[in-house]
Chain A
Amino acid sequence: MSIQFHKETFRGDYSFHNSERAIKRFPFPFDKDSYMYAVNMEQHRGGPADSIYEKRFDVDEHYISEMDDRAMVLADDPLRCQSLPHMTLAGWDLLELIMVSKSEDYPDLFELHRNGDQWRWINKPLGIDDSFTFMDETTLPYGPMEYITRQTQGDFCVLDQRDDNLWMDAGMVTTQADWSLDFDIGMNFFEWHAPVPLAHEKGIFVRALKFLLNIQQGAPARRLNWTMTVNPLLDTSPENYHKWGIQKTTLTPENIAAKQHLRVELQTFFRLPRSNALVFPIRCYLCAFQDLMTVPKWGRRLHRVIRDLPVELATYKGFIDNRPMMLDYLSQFDDGQPTSLGIWPDLDTEPPLKSA
């Protein structure tokens, strides 16, 4: 299915919108009617046709506009993209991984022609056709990580692996849920996760690190994470909190359906072969409450999850003040009927909303 790329914005007039197809394939993150942290990892080896799990790097209708937004963020704040000197090799690993994956998974959109270390990369949606020498930085307009991540949706953390730990030593981070690469650069896994409540006590991070250190070449993994965002903002960074934080106070019962978005991150993990580093792509998907409510199962479930979420998590995720208003809205879509297990919409089998 060919993709119709939208021309839309994630700032100012917020013209971002999801097509019906995008809503159906939205990665709803709750597999049951409640939520708590878990090491919810699984292998990243494809998934149902047209789901966001199908390809190694999902390309969707927001691709071009997301790349435009990234360029604007970088123009304002170059520190969103950093790579410590020893991470250049990992940058080439990442460039190769993405170019090979996209050209194989989307041959109509991307082409990679390799003749030894002479490479030609064609990115049709963005109108790019570059020839360069693999592993020779002077032949690309940017460093390898910056070059390829200006052309790939989602944030990228490139983690060095040493001393039985992972280190945030490179990244491209412009669509983040309120954390800062510039602050975290050089930190290890426990340091950059220090602000997360409850999970440390549950031993989540010790187990997660053990899992990640053992991710093998050829065996990538994935998980979903989520938060809430008012207005379809990609850039909810601490650096720009003064611009977007205040927008949380503009929510009203009249506009919540359109303004409040569930923000879901598809997090994947790939071992990089030449550097033995780990790349951690964090792909952000946004969906307005009113669009989510078109799926009866998701309507029922989202109400129950938000209602029962521990106060610490609602606070950490930044929506504790708006939770009562959210619940007033969401409760209209919860008729008390049971829900099927798993994240999929199950539109053919789940009953429509019973009106009160």
Chain B
Amino acid sequence: MSGAEKIAVRVTDITPLNELVTRFRFEPVNGGLLPTFSGGAHTVVEMRDGDITRMNPYSLMSDPFDRSAYTISVRRDDEGRGGSKFMHTRVKVGDEMIVSNPVNLFSLDLRAKKHLMIAGGIGITPFLAQIKQLDRAHGNWELHYACRSEALGSYVDYLTTTHPNDVSVYYDDQGQAIDLDSLLDGQPLGTHIYVCGPKGMIEWVRGKAAEMGWPREAVHYEEFLAPQPGKPFEVKLAISNKVIQVGEQESLLEAIERAGVDAPYLCRGGACGQCETNVVQAEGEILHRDHWLEDDEKASDTKIMPCVSRFEGKTLVLDR
């Protein structure tokens, strides 16, 4: 069961920001209002590509209180399975698409006295919505944003113009880096840290914060994994009594859906736990790629997160 009704939207604007990132604006097809959301929420965008339906999560970056449209920014990933490439090359203004109700797995902790945001690259997008939400409530926040270069610094101009005193930008190619030690050292009590960016950055911030004695509950992070392509494999679904083939460019979850079996999901990025599926039998190796299962659960091969994980071997039977 996949939850709430989907929302039919029309693409009303496509704005390339730089070589890699393009922004898309969606308005409801029926002309009504979209559900409001909270800063940090994402929507799952369905992409119909011939027989294949890809569903990728993207952070909502527009003003959460603006119900006339949602906007997302998509970074092209040439190594990926083609979802972002589809958005960049196939989607045109005027197209109808399907998006999910907003889901927030990267919510602001509203108890925080101050919100310290650390972004890397395309990880800037959830913060754009959170900043709009906090500004409306006169919240105290500060953003540190690392980009590869000025040319790839999406929304740098907007952020530094509208919030010159609250935003610091760091360019890798100019040898600039966030001075994390002093940044984390001088914060007022009750500060919460939010980090969104590449895996390395998230681990760096979490590790440093832990080392400096920050409470675990005060450090928030979001890393969506894009499902990686891999060798095709076969799966038996025990409950629905079907044998399905998972193609090189599709995820196990997508293959289950393609077979007409309704499977739960929320984030499709290995983070939320909703699609957790019991493994009945596995002769071979499960390639666990999620953030959800504990290490011992991964080692036992009794569970799999079909949104991002794959299988190599002889037989895989799932309780689905």
Contacts of B37 on A, CB cut-off 8 Å? 217, 273-274
Q: Which residues of A contact B216 (CB under 8 A)?
A: 163
**Residue from A162, A210, A218 in contact with B107 in the complex, judged by beta carbons closer than 8 Å:** A162
Q: How far is the CA of A276 from the CA of B220 in the complex (A)?
A: 15
Q: Across the interface, do A218 and B5 meet the contact criterion of CB distance under 8 Å?
A: yes
Question: Within the complex, what minimum Cβ distance (angstroms) separates A222 from chain B?
Answer: 15
B67-103 at interface with A (beta carbon < 8 Å) = 101-103
B64 x A216 contact (CB < 8 A): no
Whether A86 contacts B111 in the complex (CB less than 8 A), given A217-B101, A273-B102, comes out as yes
Contacts of B101 in A (CB 8 A): 216-219
The stretch from B152-160, B237-245, B266-274, B299-307 touching chain A is B266-274
In the docked arrangement, what's the CA distance between A218 and B37, Å? Answer: 11
Task: For residue B209, give the distance in angstroms from its CB to the closest CB of chain A.
Answer: 15
Contact A275 B110 (CB under 8 A): yes
Which chain B residues border A275 with CB–CB below 8 Å? Answer: 38, 110
A274 touches B36 (CB 8 A): yes
CA distance A346 to B113 in the complex (A): 56
- A86 and B38 contact, CB distance less than 8 A: no
A333 CA / B133 CA spacing, docked (Å): 59
- The B-contacting residues of A in range 261-294, CB under 8 angstroms, are 273-276
Q: Which residues of A contact B189 (CB under 8 A)?
A: none
Contact with A along B19-55 (1 / 0, CB 8 A): 0000000000000000111101100000000000000
Contact present for A216 and B103 (CB under 8 Å): yes
Shortest CB-to-CB span from A93 to chain B, Å, is 9
Do residues A214 and B4 form an inter-chain contact, with CB atoms below 8 A? no
Give the chain A neighbours of B133 by CB distance below 8 A: 274
Q: Which residues from 251 to 309 on chain B have a C-beta closer than 8 Å to any C-beta of chain A?
A: 266, 272-274
- Expressed in whole angstroms, the Cα–Cα distance for A218 and B35 within the complex equals 8
A65 located at the interface, meaning its Cβ lies under 8 Å from any Cβ of chain B in the complex: no
Interface magnitude class on chain A? 10 to 19
Interchain CA distance A210-B217 in the complex, whole Å = 18
Does A160 touch B at the CB level, under 8 Å? yes
Q: Given A89-B110, A276-B104, is A217 in contact with B35 using a C-beta cutoff of 8 Å?
A: yes
B312 on the A face (CB < 8 A):
no
Is A89 touching B137 in the complex (CB atoms < 8 A)?
A: yes
A21 to B94 Cα, complex, angstroms: 52
Q: A158-169, CB under 8 A of B: which get 1 and which 0?
A: 001111000000
A217→B110 contact, CB < 8 A: no
Task: Tell me, yes or no, whether B222 is within 8 Å of chain A by CB.
Answer: no
Chain A window 24-62, contacts with chain B (Cβ cutoff 8 Å), 1 for yes, 0 for no: 000000000000000000000000000000000000000
Cross-chain contact A273 with B110 (CB below 8 angstroms): no
Set of chain A residues within 8 Å of B213, measured between Cβ atoms: none
B113 CB to nearest chain A CB (Å): 11
Task: Determine the distance from Cα of A351 to Cα of B38 in the docked complex, in whole angstroms.
Answer: 53
Bound: A162/B109 CA distance, A: 7
The reply to whether A217 and B103 form a contact with Cβ atoms under 8 Å apart is yes
A163 and B217 in contact, given A216-B3, A217-B4 (Cβ under 8 angstroms)? yes
Contacts of B137 in A (CB 8 A): 89
List residues of chain A with CB within 8 A of the CB of B217. 162-163
**B303 CB → nearest A CB, Å:** 13
Chain B residues with CB below 8 A from A210, complex form: 273
Q: Does the CB pair A214–B272 fall under 8 Å?
A: yes
Of listed A85, A87, A89, A273, residue having the most chain B CB within 10 A: A273
Q: How far is the CA of A326 from the CA of B109 in the complex (A)?
A: 49
> Which 6 A-B pairs give the minimum distances between C-beta atoms?
A218-B4, A219-B4, A86-B110, A276-B107, A218-B101, A276-B38
Query: Could you tell me which B residues sit within 8 Å of A by CB distance?
Result: 3-5, 35-38, 40-41, 64-65, 101-104, 107, 109-111, 133, 137, 216-217, 266, 272-274
Residue pairs across A and B with Cβ atoms less than 8 A apart, 26 shown, are A85-B111, A86-B109, A86-B111, A162-B107, A162-B109, A214-B272, A214-B273, A214-B274, A216-B3, A217-B101, A217-B102, A218-B5, A218-B35, A218-B101, A219-B4, A219-B101, A273-B102, A274-B36, A274-B38, A274-B64, A274-B65, A274-B133, A275-B38, A275-B110, A276-B38, A276-B41
Contacts A214-B273, A274-B38, A274-B133 aside, 14 further interface pairs with beta carbons under 8 A come to: A86-B109, A161-B107, A162-B109, A163-B216, A216-B266, A217-B35, A217-B37, A217-B103, A218-B101, A219-B4, A219-B101, A273-B102, A274-B36, A274-B37
